[in-house]
Amino acid sequence: LSIEYLPLPGLAVEDIDTPALIIDIGAADENIRKLQAWCDAHNLGVRPHAKTHKSPFWAHRQLEAGAIGLCASKVSEAEVLINGGVSDVMITSQIVGRPKIERLMGLAGRANVTVAVDREDNVRDLSEAAVAHGAELGVVVEVNVGQDRCGTLPGEATTSLARAAEAAPGLRFDGLLGYEGHVVATRDAGERKAGAEAAMDRLFAAADGVEAAGLPVNVLSAAGTGTYNVTGAMDRITDVQCGSYIFMDGDYMEVMDDFRPALSVLSTVVSRPAPDLAVLDVGRKSISMDRGFPKVLGIPGAEVFALSEEHGKMSVTQKPGTPAVGEKVALLPMHGDTTIALHTNYFVARAGKLESIVDIAARGCFT
Amino acid sequence: LSIEYLPLPGLAVEDIDTPALIIDIGAADENIRKLQAWCDAHNLGVRPHAKTHKSPFWAHRQLEAGAIGLCASKVSEAEVLINGGVSDVMITSQIVGRPKIERLMGLAGRANVTVAVDREDNVRDLSEAAVAHGAELGVVVEVNVGQDRCGTLPGEATTSLARAAEAAPGLRFDGLLGYEGHVVATRDAGERKAGAEAAMDRLFAAADGVEAAGLPVNVLSAAGTGTYNVTGAMDRITDVQCGSYIFMDGDYMEVMDDFRPALSVLSTVVSRPAPDLAVLDVGRKSISMDRGFPKVLGIPGAEVFALSEEHGKMSVTQKPGTPAVGEKVALLPMHGDTTIALHTNYFVARAGKLESIVDIAARGCFT
């Protein structure tokens, strides 16, 4: 194989073998800077969610730009971040069961680790483990702000759990977490704003109760990419936990254009069975479809209308014969997080040339 | 962490940390034996599709039971199989572009490798590479039997491509491939049979043309799990390429009960925000939903009705409080192949105890 085909720095993006997840690092860095600048101007901490990129490489770029720490969904994601040199991680899920709590203690001994809680029995389990390990673990009480998934209700349920956390040996009660995930992708900006405000009313009511009980709420963390400039504009919010803003995706681009799409999946035409049909070498194993079919970039009128495991069918309306078999086609996934989770590497490009290959280190880390 | 929590052989399945992909090896082996026995009785080769399991471990069990070789979707899947000791692999997709064709030649030098073609320019590219490498590569012409994805039409298009393959230096024309993927999951058995028959009429018409041109059709490969006993019962078919039969899934269990479900994803209840709601630690990153929400095993009336990236919401109708936070819940994915592709390891169990942890070696291999 001639050297011009090897995925070395300088290779033209369109010569990268496919399917490949391409990141335009210029766009990603601009997104990182833009959120940081906005939050700096609003005296707000940025704690980006690593569930999107699953990679210390991107975490460090966010930290260098000014982030106060990272969020992670799972203990295993936090392990990858902390092993990769990140020193402050908030796990936004409840960590249940002895094996995971033991792993959490291993992390708490060498980084500032905070975890979400929504039950007293879990607080007791975490406290006992922290005491046994001589560790200090931060906890935030997750408040159900309307997503109706995990979290306590505002009022006595939240306040009593905060009290329990504050009193528990080995734990450090940091404050409250509320994620308005049910409204972050609402298309209408007015509705999205109203939804975020209603959600934050619940979070602030919960915080009122906790503060009335004499407990300090040092952390009030909320917001996703779609609500960073609504939720983040509220004075009481201390930090935002946006994830998708770094790369965006087809779905979020329908919500807002505050950030630029930085990711695409490069594919190859492998068959042209009919003048209006091209078959691509991407399928459900290389591009997610939980938010719909990917958008075709750069070919007006072309649409992906079917994805099987390893094939995509693309309708072509422009001049017959193009794109030809062997030509590359770039696709914008509708959902970045679930697409990234399918891949092993980022092919990081700058100005159309490959710059580096970065492993998606926390791929498959869902324990 | 006490030794009783370590994932060592003998650990009870319900003590494995979650999310975890569990395989009941007894059920999987029975499925392997059952398909093999049926095909032996019908004088038919079994060439299981490795796109389901992505693992030499399972490939070798299929070969030991009597399979003639494996199928793979991609060059990278074939690499993992051949590196793992499999000596005969048919790639059921078109392999396009110099980098992949060069990798194919690396494989052809050390295993019997066959690849599907549907265009003359691709045949020429493969032939030139085979000659340059002194390799012999088998080719089968893929016939479009109604799936309308890749493949040639029966008649002159197929015959002329077969002639080109037969004449091409370095290539060995083996026969025809036709996959009736558009009917394998049709629920009604009569409709499924009629669909498979119509598809095979097209494959046989294509074979008639090729044979009339004086070319031998040694391989006529077709069938998926849902049509093994229809397509496979036809005299001219030489081998079947079923994949899902080894583990089955929720979708295929609605098609037939010839094989037993052997896979499940074990999860943990992490929150119980309401008497009728349990939140599980599985989401779209650990269980696929391209064929619908997973089915809950062992809890009558319980249903998963929402999956976000790392959480599943399960409605519970039985007595309040059960399952409790910390309890394990086993789920049957609706689509095995795309769920397996999300995981790193198989937790292989026998009679309810962990027997071994097997890596999903071809995970992420879609190039």
Over residues A144-161, the mean pLDDT reads 97
pLDDT given at position B317: 84
What is the distance between the alpha carbons of residues B67 and B162, in angstroms, rounded to a whole number? Answer: 26
Over residues A246-250, the mean pLDDT reads 98
Q: Which of B94, B102, B341 sits opposite A270 (nearest CB)?
A: B94
C-beta atoms of B313 and A149 within 8 A: yes
Cα maximum dimension of chain B: 72
Structural contact between residues B337 and B273, judged by C-beta atoms closer than 8 angstroms: no
pLDDT tens by residue, B250-282: 999 999 999 999 999 999 999 999 999 999 999
pLDDT tens by residue, A256-295: 999 999 999 999 999 999 999 999 999 999 999 999 999 9
Q: Helical H runs in B241-340? A: 250-253, 336-340
Q: What percent of chain A stands above pLDDT 70?
A: 98
Q: Which of A18, A279, A288 sits opposite B150 (nearest CB)?
A: A279
pLDDT band per the 50, 70, 90 thresholds, residue A4: low
Structural contact between residues A281 and A310, judged by C-beta atoms closer than 8 angstroms: yes
More confident residue, B109 or B61: B61
Residue of A nearest to B101 (CA): A1
Rg (CA), chain A: 22
Q: Which of residues 17-56 of A touch B (CB under 8 A)?
A: 17-20, 51
| Chain B contact present for A269, CB below 8 A | yes
Q: How many CB atoms lie within 10 A of CB B199?
A: 27
A-chain residues near B284 (CB < 8 A): 288, 290, 338
Over residues A342-363, the mean pLDDT reads 97
A-chain residues near B19 (CB < 8 A): 366-367
CA distance B30 to chain A (A): 26
pLDDT band per the 50, 70, 90 thresholds, residue A322: confident
pLDDT given at position B4: 67
Q: Tell me which residue of B187, B317, B192 sits closest to B250, measured CA to CA.
A: B187
Q: How many CA atoms lie within 13 A of A128 on its CB side?
A: 9
pLDDT tens by residue, B12-49: 999 999 999 999 999 999 999 999 999 999 999 999 99
pLDDT tens by residue, B101-138: 999 999 999 999 999 999 999 999 999 999 999 999 99
Q: Tell me which residue of B121, B215, B310, B232 sits closest to A49, measured CA to CA.
A: B310
Q: How many CB atoms lie within 10 A of CB B110?
A: 11
H helix or E strand, kind and range, residue B345:
strand B345-350
pLDDT given at position A317: 84
What is the distance between the alpha carbons of residues A247 and A287, in angstroms, rounded to a whole number? Answer: 15
A-chain residues near B285 (CB < 8 A): 337-338, 341, 366
Listed range (A81-95, A114-128, B192-206, B319-333) with the worst mean pLDDT: B319-333
Q: What percent of chain B stands above pLDDT 90?
A: 96
C-alpha dihedral, A285 to A288 to A290 to A295, nearest 10°: -130
Residue of A nearest to B315 (CA): A149
- Mean pLDDT across chain B: 96
Listed range (A34-38, A97-101, B3-7, B303-307) with the worst mean pLDDT: B3-7
| Chain A contact present for B279, CB below 8 A | yes
pLDDT given at position A1: 53
pLDDT tens by residue, A168-185: 999 999 999 999 999 999
pLDDT given at position B2: 61
What is the distance between the alpha carbons of residues B142 and B210, in angstroms, rounded to a whole number? Answer: 13
C-beta atoms of B150 and A273 within 8 A: yes
Instruction: Tell me: cis bond preceding A99? Omega within 30 of 0 counts.
Output: no
| Chain A contact present for B366, CB below 8 A | yes
| Chain B contact present for A339, CB below 8 A | no
| Chain A contact present for B301, CB below 8 A | no
B-chain residues near A326 (CB < 8 A): 96-97
Here the ipTM equals 0.96
B295 contact partners, CB below 8 Å, separation of at least 6: B250, B304, B331, B332, B334
How many CB pairs (< 8 A) connect A and B? Answer: 158
Over residues A102-124, the mean pLDDT reads 97
B-chain residues near A141 (CB < 8 A): none
A-chain residues near B145 (CB < 8 A): none
Per DSSP, what are the bridge partners of residue B359? B345
A-chain residues near B99 (CB < 8 A): 1, 5, 17
